[in-house]
Amino acid sequence: MTNQHMLRLEPGTDAAWKLSGTDAGRFSLANEYLAYLADRNYSPRTVRAYGYDLLAFCRWLVSQDLELAAVTVETVLDFMRFCRLTPIEGRPANVLSMTGRRLDRYSATTINHRLAALSGMFAFRSMREPELHSPIPSGREARRVSAEERNALLGHLIRPKKRSELRLRQQRMLPRALDRRETADLLSSLRTWRDRAIAGLMLLSGLRSGEVLTLDVTDIDIGTRWVRVLGKGGKERRVPLDIEVAGLIQTYLLLERPESDCARLFLVAKGPNRGQSLTPAGLRTVFRYHRIKSGVLAGHPHALRHTFGTAMAEAGVDLAVMQALLGHAHVDTTARYIHLAPAHVKAEFDAARTRLRTRT
């Protein structure tokens, strides 16, 4: 029997996830930590993501015949080396990215995410048992603090948290926006009012796919053209609603939305699940179909949000306003879109060169 069969991740009670299987008893700390995250009101998706990170680590410990209590810095280094060198099943081994990295290996982002899960679990253990130190060494301070810490009463006294010295260097990739032709081709392939309204909310209001799927009918105020959005971390914000998108939503509600007791705005229209809330998997299926149909292979849901951010940057919208519209916790994230505004950057560059020429 393989390690995968001896240890697996399953949904527990409420928002908690847990490790189960033959070897689950050896890793009670992991389950206690996941339950702790759920008790702290972390979203089920976050708890699930941390659960899979810990599952990978615990499976590796089983293969090495090690216990959590015996984990040292050297053990963590060995695990990171394993993550970096082990091929991913189903990925082509002979394909390289433009940077020369093999595509059948885990990315630095994935490995750092696993490291963060381990760091959190061992910090949780140290909180309960101070005599047990974490095997994850702390390094230099992070570049920023969270929005909640920064806006607190004594936020000016908060110092950034220290990150682990084991973190891998990550490439800072700019978001990929769709150009006008790609946007037009993708939108023209959409046939239902529901799909057009979903795309419109992402493209013209900058909503995330998860935010679109959690919208209730009562969150849309077509008269005043506002949308109440529940974003990451349970942060609520109000976003202006474009008049064209308001028309699409109104037509969808009048002509296409199935009768249902479900409060969600966007529902499944056909099949045995008709009238139930549209799921993330269902939304991915919709966009996968239309990407192939339109030939716009970059037309992922989040690409529409990136296109919105780029358009706002090119229009010269204030950075603080863009942050509020996009629901970013840190202005650094919003600032990435400034680099995606080539027209604005080129205009400023040409203006600066003109001023320099007139001085000489």
Confidence of residue 354 (pLDDT cuts 50, 70, 90): confident
What is the C-alpha to C-alpha distance for residues 19 and 309, in angstroms, rounded to an integer? 39
Name the amino acid, one letter, at 329: A
Give the E-state strand segments of 130-225 in sequence order: 138-141, 162-164, 220-221
**227 and 289 Cβ atoms separated by less than 8 Å:** no
Structure tokens at 3: 């390690």
CA angle in degrees (0–180, nearest 5) for 260-261-267: 50
Q: How many CA atoms lie within 13 A of 9 on its CB side?
A: 18
Separation of alpha carbons 217 and 256, rounded Å? 14
- Supply the pLDDT for residue 155: 47
Which helix H or strand E contains 120, and what residues bound it? Answer: helix 108-128
- Is 81 among the catalytic positions? no
343 compared with 25, residue with greater pLDDT: 25
Q: To the nearest whole number, what is the mean pLDDT of the chain?
A: 85
Sign of the CA dihedral running 303, 309, 312, 316: negative
pLDDT digit string, tens, across residues 272-284: 999 999 999 999 9
Which one of the listed residues 302, 339, 346, 353 is annotated catalytic? 302
Catalytic residue among 208, 257, 300, 306: 208
Q: How confident is the model at residue 342 (pLDDT cuts 50, 70, 90)?
A: low
Q: Is 163 helix (H, G, I), strand (E, B) or coil?
A: strand
| Annotated active-site residue in 125, 167, 305, 306 | 305
Catalytic residue (one of 113, 144, 232, 336): 232
Q: Tokens standing for 175?
A: 């978001």
- The tokens 């990925």 sit on which residue? 91
Residue 306 among the catalytic residues: no
The percent of residues above 70 in pLDDT, for the chain, comes to 81
Chain segment 120-137, per-residue pLDDT in tens: 999 999 999 999 988 988
Check if 50 is active-site.
Answer: no
Q: Across the strands, what pairs with 226?
A: 221, 240
Determine whether 102 is an active site residue: no
CB 266 within 8 A of CB 278: yes
Residue type, 55: L
Is residue 337 annotated as a catalytic residue, yes or no? yes
| Bridge pairing between strands 226-230 and 220-221 | antiparallel
Answer for the pair 80, 57: CB distance below 8 angstroms, yes or no: no
Task: Set out the domains of the chain in order of their start, with CATH numbers.
Answer: 3-164 (no CATH), 180-344 (1.10.443.10)
Strand order from edge to edge, sheet including 236-240: 220-221, 226-230, 236-240
Predicted confidence at residue 235, as pLDDT, reads 87
Residues 95, 100, 106, 109, CA torsion sign: negative
Q: CA 185, 191, 196 angle in degrees (round to 5)?
A: 75
Residues 206 and 305: beta-carbon distance below 8 Å:
yes
- DSSP code string of 199-265: HHHHHHH---HHHHHT-BGGGEETTTTEEEEE-GGG-EEEEE--HHHHHHHHHHHHHTPPP-S--BS
The predicted pLDDT at position 95 comes to 54
Q: Is 302 a catalytic residue?
A: yes
Segment holding 321, helix H or strand E: helix 319-326
Task: Give me the phi and psi of 145, to 5 degrees please.
Answer: -105, 165
Lowest mean pLDDT among 100-109, 146-155, 312-321: 146-155
Catalytic residue (one of 163, 196, 306, 328): 328
13: number of Cβ within 10 Å = 9
pTM for the whole thing?
0.71
